[in-house]
Chains A and B, each alone.
Chain A
Amino acid sequence: MLTFDDVTLSQGAFTLRADWQVAPGLTAVIGPSGGGKSTLLSAVAGFLTPTRGRILWKGQDLAGQAPGGRPVSMLFQDNNLFPHLTTSQNAGLALGPRLKLNDDEAARVEEALSRVGLTGLGGRKPGALSGGQQGRAALARVLLSDRPVVLLDEAFAALGPALRVEMLALVQTTLVAAGRTVLMVTHDPRDAKEHAQTVVLVADGVAHPPRDTAEIFADPPEALRAYLG
């Protein structure tokens, strides 16, 4: 369980409150732009310290843990791969801060790459991959790391609609199936509707508790109705 215990996040005059828990599975984070969706994820990743309250994983306070030391993997809108490293090296960074892998690790990297459909492409650098393949390579790295919380901060926003659906399906069959807690910021309500189990609405300075996807779209609260239009 990822727990926001009476958390307040502040950035200048902007504040965001959250006080709830989220279970394993895919949770979509939606809401108007500038509402604080990315701010919420930044706090989980350790890029932003809450001004009040605690963020806990399995009952343990994450405060004071460096971003690299948290049980959290994160994918950003872009720059998820280092262009000067090969796909294998990029994915292998999940196993530790080194570029040379032993045979066992190399086999694990290769297996992860084949699970996202990049068999045999490990030697290529990101520049030689298509946009969709780059997204897959980044997913392979997340798969390889054994961190139970995954944050997707509009990670696939730059892809076309078809590719995005493909990536979300891949997230389902790999990360969600493995029991990870995935928080996904998205601008497209359809992403949430069609893929997420639960939805967190972020609006008016509040990150609302997660609700069942079908339920919340069937009877949207006022803030969501305003956002959906």
Chain B
Amino acid sequence: MIPAGLAAALILALTLAPLAAVGSRAEAGAGLGAGDWAAIRFTVWQAVVSAVVSVGLAVPVARALARRRFRGRGALVMLLGAPFLLPVIVAVLGLLAVFGRGGLLNAGIVALGGAPVSIYGAGGVILAHVFFNLPLAVRILLQGWLDIPAERFRLAAQLDAPIWSLLERPMLARVVPGAALVIFLICLTSFAVALTLGGGPRATTVELAIYQAIRFDFDLGRAALLALVQVALCVVAAVLAFRLTVIEPVGSGLDRTVARWDKSPWDWLWLAAVSLFLIAPLAMVVWRGIPGLADLPSSVWAASGRSIAVALGATVLSLALSFALALRGGIWMQGIGVLPLASSALVMGTGLFVMVYPFVNPTRLALAVTLAVNAVLALPFGLRVLAPAVRDVREGYGRLAASLGLTGWAGVRIVMLPRLRRPLGFAAGLTFALSMGDLGVIALFATDAQETLPLAMYRLMGAYRMEAAAGAALLLLALSLGGFWICDRGGRIDADL
């Protein structure tokens, strides 16, 4: 148990101190070069395109899910939640296996006599972003559809009124801007996708430019300036998004359908297409990974151990912080809880790099910094899960607990913790998976001695050891999803609700 004040101070320190460090170090005089401006333009452009494409495709898919009942619908809805838990680098490898040079798509094109297409560059970055965010968009829009009362569909059917213009278009007008902004925000801070599929003058994001400024040019002043640009972008988008919507990482209650009398056979096509789009890359990761498992260098196993340790540490820290904030509640705690959304892995990493550089070699702190940054960046999601759950327990049992004198630590131990097992388990699983798959700040700091599993996998890919990389990808996938499953399951077993 951490007191709320201490938790808030820790989060503020971890979010704002790096910003201050970045601000003090930024060399405004040096200015931004042509390449930096290109990175800024590309960052905004790709985020806009990714958001528009994701939401645009999500509309027919969500509508099909909202009005069709079929076997496997629950599994498909669950699959839509999976990309959130999926390590970016694993998904990239899967997308390469489908859309890459030696992938399924090009094999088909070549067999038909066409010229192979390249996944690298802006197209690949957007493809990966759509892969991650289309499911999120579908879930947000599906919630919008399910929020329309069933009676209205019945009424519209009776009156033979046009459902699209009467019910669906107004709902979408309300929900789409928020969904698009959330995805825009997520894509603004894209690092791992740009690192693996982008790069070069025409597909470098600001996050990637920060990384390159530190890692290749060792130009801390320019990195800091870029970090400030990144923060400005994030803050503007976050303020807009926060006013328009709530970010719901994995929603629930999406398992019902409303009886409808307007169904189009196109529904099935959309559902099949989105299923294939999501499943094919994952299936390829498993398919190509199994032979690679035998071929894994021992360094990968050591990296796995480090990754698990870092993810566990980040999970414990993040949960302790978000639990403390959720218990205290109130507008300030909420505000502090969403503050990390305005920052990013590379911004925090740069700030911490600048802070520790005069005293120690930053590479020695690689794992500790990764742990702290992951814990703070996952905090908004954990808090989103815990805060409403704490409120529910208070509403249901607050007076009983008070009349029995169960206050303070006794109340937490006897009432809160046992009542919150499910959301705690879920939040822990979420944080573990996010941290396990993180390829952000670790890339900035680590040398071989501290590499985590995602970084080890990235380096195997860079060395064109694709067999071993595929094995590492499967291992990473198993550890992320397995860790999530264990935590989530642990919260459910024997939980009396």
B2 to chain A, nearest CB (A): 21
Interface flag for A72 (CB, 8 Å): yes
- Say which residue of A68, A93, A125 sits within 8 Å of B407 (CB atoms): A68
Binary flags per residue of B411-439, CB closer than 8 Å to A gives 1, else 0: 10011001101000000000000000000
Contact A125 B496 (CB under 8 A): yes
Q: What separation, in Å, do the CA atoms of A47 and B396 have in the docked complex?
A: 15
Let me know if A84 and B407 touch, CB within 8 A: no
- Does residue B110 face the partner (Cβ distance < 8 Å to A)? no
Q: Is A94 in contact with B496, judged by CB distance below 8 angstroms?
A: no
Q: How far is the CB of B173 from chain A (nearest CB, A)?
A: 36
Considering the chains assembled together, what is the distance between the CA atoms of A151 and B473 in angstroms? 61
Chain A residues closer than 8 Å to B397, beta-carbon distance: 79, 82
Q: Does B157 contact A (CB under 8 A)?
A: no
A85 to B407, CA, bound (A): 17
Across the interface, do A79 and B419 meet the contact criterion of CB distance under 8 Å? no
CB distance from B406 to the nearest CB of A (A): 5
Given A83-B497, A84-B419, also A99-B414 (CB < 8 A): yes
Smallest Cβ distance from A130 to chain B, in angstroms?
A: 16
B496 touches A47 (CB 8 A): no
Q: Which A27-78 residues have C-beta < 8 A from chain B?
A: 45-47, 66-69, 72-74, 76
Residue in A76, A84, A125, A126 whose beta carbon sits within 8 Å of that of B399 in the complex: A76
Q: Which residues of A contact B497 (CB under 8 A)?
A: 83
Q: Give bound CA distance, A97 to B402, whole Å.
A: 11
Which residues in B have their C-beta under 8 angstroms from that of A82?
A: 397, 400, 414-415, 418-419
Q: Does the CB pair A67–B403 fall under 8 Å?
A: yes
Cβ-defined partner of B496 (8 Å) among A46, A74, A80, A83? A83
Q: Are A66 and B406 in contact (CB under 8 A)?
A: no
Beyond A82-B415, A99-B414, A125-B496, whether A94 also contacts B396 by CB under 8 A is: no
- In chain B between 148 and 199, which residues have their CB closer than 8 angstroms to a CB of chain A? none
**A84/B403 in contact, CB under 8 A:** no
Is A127 among interface residues, defined by CB-CB distance under 8 A?
yes
A97 B400 Cβ-Cβ under 8 A: no
A127 to B494, CA, bound (A): 12
User: Does B246 make an interface contact (CB < 8 A)?
Assistant: no
> Within 8 Å CB of B403, what residues of A?
45-46, 67-68, 72-74
Question: A97 vs B400: C-alpha distance in the bound complex, in angstroms?
Answer: 12
**Known contacts A76-B400, A99-B414; is A84 also within 8 Å of B496 by CB?**
yes
The yes or no answer to B283 lying at the interface (CB within 8 A) is no
Q: Residues of A contacting B414 with CB < 8 Å?
A: 82, 85, 93, 97-99
CA of A97 to CA of B405, assembled, Å: 7
| Complex: chain A residue closest to B494, CB-CB | A84
B contact residues around A98 at 8 Å (CB) = 410, 414
Question: In the assembly, what is the distance between CA of A66 and CA of B406, in Å?
Answer: 11
Partner of A68 from B396, B404, B415 at Cβ < 8 Å:
B404
Interface size on A, residues (CB 8 A): 25
Contacts of A83 in B (CB 8 A): 496-497
Please indicate the chain B residues that have their CB under 8 angstroms from the CB of A74 in the complex: 399-400, 403
Return the CB mask of A68-112 against B: 1 if under 8 Å, else 0: 110011101001101111000000011001110000000000000
B residues in contact with A85, CB < 8 Å: 414, 418
In the bound complex, what is the Cα–Cα distance between A68 and B406 (angstroms)? 7
CA A82 – CA B396 in complex, angstroms? 10
* Cα of A83 to Cα of B419 in the assembled complex, Å: 8
With A and B bound together, what is the CA distance between A126 and B402 in angstroms?
Answer: 20
Chain A's closest residue to B419 (CB) is: A84
Instruction: Given A79-B396, A79-B397, A84-B419, answer yes or no on A68-B496 (Cβ-Cβ < 8 Å).
Output: no
**B407 — nearest CB in chain A belongs to which residue?**
A68
A66 to B407, CA, bound (A): 10
Q: Of B399, B402, B406, which one neighbours A93 at CB under 8 angstroms?
A: B406
Interface centre among B400, B405, B418 (most CB of A within 10 A): B400
- Nearest residue (CB) in B for A89 is B414
Q: Could you tell me the distance between the alpha carbons of A4 and B432 in the complex, rounded to whole angstroms?
A: 55
CA distance A93 to B404 in the complex (A): 7
A4 CB to closest chain B CB (Å) equals 19
Q: Are B396 and A66 in contact (CB under 8 A)?
A: no
The reply to whether B495 and A97 form a contact with Cβ atoms under 8 Å apart is no
In the bound complex, residues from chain B placing their C-beta under 8 Å from that of A72 are: 403
Specify the chain A residue showing the minimal Cβ separation from B415. A82
The CA-CA distance from A68 to B67 in the complex, in Å, is 51
Does B404 lie within 8 Å of A84, measured CB to CB? Answer: no
Roughly how many angstroms separate A74 CA and B398 CA in the complex, as a whole number? Answer: 13
Asked whether A97 and B406 contact (CB < 8 A) given A82-B415, A125-B496, the answer is: yes
The reply to whether A67 and B402 form a contact with Cβ atoms under 8 Å apart is yes
Known: A66-B407, A97-B410, A97-B414. A84 touches B402 (CB 8 A): no
Residue of chain B at shortest CB distance from A99: B414
* Contact in complex: A47, B399 (CB < 8 Å): yes
What's the least CB distance linking B398 to chain A, in Å? 9
Q: Which of A67, A97, A99 has the most CB of B within 10 A?
A: A97
- B residues 475-497 in Cβ contact with A at 8 Å: 495-497
For window 109-139 of A, CB contacts with B under 8 Å fall at 125-127
A contact residues around B495 at 8 Å (CB): 84
Give the interface centre of B403, B410, B411, B497 by most chain A CB atoms within 10 Å. Answer: B403
**Cα distance A98–B410 in the bound complex, in angstroms:** 7
A126 CB contacts on chain B under 8 angstroms: 496
A-B contact pairs, 7 of them (CB 8 A): A68-B402, A79-B400, A82-B400, A83-B496, A93-B404, A97-B410, A126-B496
Given contacts A45-B403, A66-B407, A97-B414, 15 further A-B contacts (CB under 8 A): A46-B403, A66-B402, A67-B399, A67-B405, A68-B402, A68-B404, A73-B403, A74-B400, A79-B397, A80-B400, A82-B419, A83-B497, A84-B495, A93-B414, A98-B414
- Chain B positions near chain A (C-beta within 8 angstroms): 396-397, 399-400, 402-407, 410-411, 414-415, 418-419, 421, 495-497
| Interchain residue pairs A-B with the least CB separation, the first 3 | A68-B405, A97-B410, A67-B402
